[in-house]
Structure 1
Amino acid sequence: MIKAVLVMNTQGKPRLAKFYEFQPVEQQQEAIRNVFSVLCTRPEHVSNFVDAESFFGPMHTILDEIILGGQVLETSSTEVMRAIEEIARLDAASNAINLVPKSVSGWRSR
């Protein structure tokens, strides 16, 4: 079972922190500090750091498609990307609907 997922910047500031078991805020902060201190002391060739700026916006959605309640739901990157694209398509469609002025949508009620 996955206990937590942490995404941090190079200064140790959490960009995304999801805990799948209840932890008081103090314990969450302690865990974040401990993880960062361990990562900082590891040699470069044993750690994998990724520049996440390109996909930080949908990161929550991607994570929610892969993990639910600490259990891995989907391991296929193709299926995850298909779900993300569908969510983005539905979001764009709902944004387009919201662009219709209210005066136009109520023209029949006159």
Structure 2
Amino acid sequence: MIKAVLVLNTQGKPRLAKFYEFRPVEKQQELIRNVFSVLCSRAENVSNFVDAESIYGQDARLVYKHFATLYFVFIFDSSENELAMLDLIQVFVETLDKCFRNVCELDVVYNYSKMHSILDEIIIGGQVLETSSTEVIKAIEELSRCSPSHPSPSRFLPLLISF
């Protein structure tokens, strides 16, 4: 089971934190700090797999991938395959790249709900649901077609000026 998905910037600020097991907010923040301290202390040429028992608890593993200014981190237990989790990070990042055309930290910050929707199409309740970025993109496009469109702020500009 996947226990948590984190996206952290290189300063340690969480840009996405999704926990699939209940943790009080204080414990979540402590976990994020501990994960970042482990990641920033690792050399570039070492494995992307970390034993996370001291960070998360018994039977926890951590896989991460560093892209530009973001760390993508999956924490999971022994029922999941480490290489499959590394591949799932790649699927997640590829999907984000397709949605945002070369995803960057600002895309993550300003499109928070879309990023959560993408993650929810890939992982539900700690279980992997979809591993095809093409299928995830189709589902996200379908969601955007179904959601009501929000009025453009420029539409109300004449009203604001007239007062």
Alignment TM-score, normalising by the size of structure 2: 0.52
Q: Which structure features the higher share of helix residues?
A: 1
Structure 2 runs not aligned, ≥5 long: 47-64, 69-103, 153-163
Is residue 149 of structure 2 the alignment partner of residue 95 of structure 1?
A: yes
* Alpha-carbon distance between aligned partners in 1 of 2:18 and 2:40, rounded to the nearest angstrom: 21
Aligned match of 2:140: 84
For 1:69, give the aligned amino acid: G
Aligned match of 1:68: 124
Larger Rg: 1
Give secondary structure in 1 for the equivalent of 2:21: coil
Identity of aligned residues (%): 68
* Alpha-carbon distance between aligned partners in 1 of 2:41 and 2:136, rounded to the nearest angstrom: 33
For 1:84, give the aligned amino acid: I
* Alpha-carbon distance between aligned partners in 1 of 2:28 and 2:43, rounded to the nearest angstrom: 25
CA contact (8 A) 2:3 2:126 kept: yes
Give secondary structure in 2 for the equivalent of 1:81: helix
Give secondary structure in 1 for the equivalent of 2:67: coil
Give secondary structure in 2 for the equivalent of 1:16: strand
Q: Deviations over 1:63-110 (max 9, x none)?
A: 01111111111111110011011112223xx216x68xxxxxxxxxxx
For residue 55 of structure 1, report the CA deviation from its aligned partner: 5.1
For 2:66, give the aligned amino acid: N
* Alpha-carbon distance between aligned partners in 2 of 1:90 and 1:55, rounded to the nearest angstrom: 22
User: What is the 5 A alignment of 1:39-78?
Assistant: 39-46=39-46, 47-50=65-68, 51-54=104-107, 56=109, 57=111, 58-78=114-134
For residue 30 of structure 1, report the CA deviation from its aligned partner: 1.3
For 2:35, give the aligned amino acid: V
Q: CA RMSD in A?
A: 2.1
* Alpha-carbon distance between aligned partners in 2 of 1:66 and 1:20, rounded to the nearest angstrom: 13
Q: Which structure features the higher share of strand residues?
A: 2
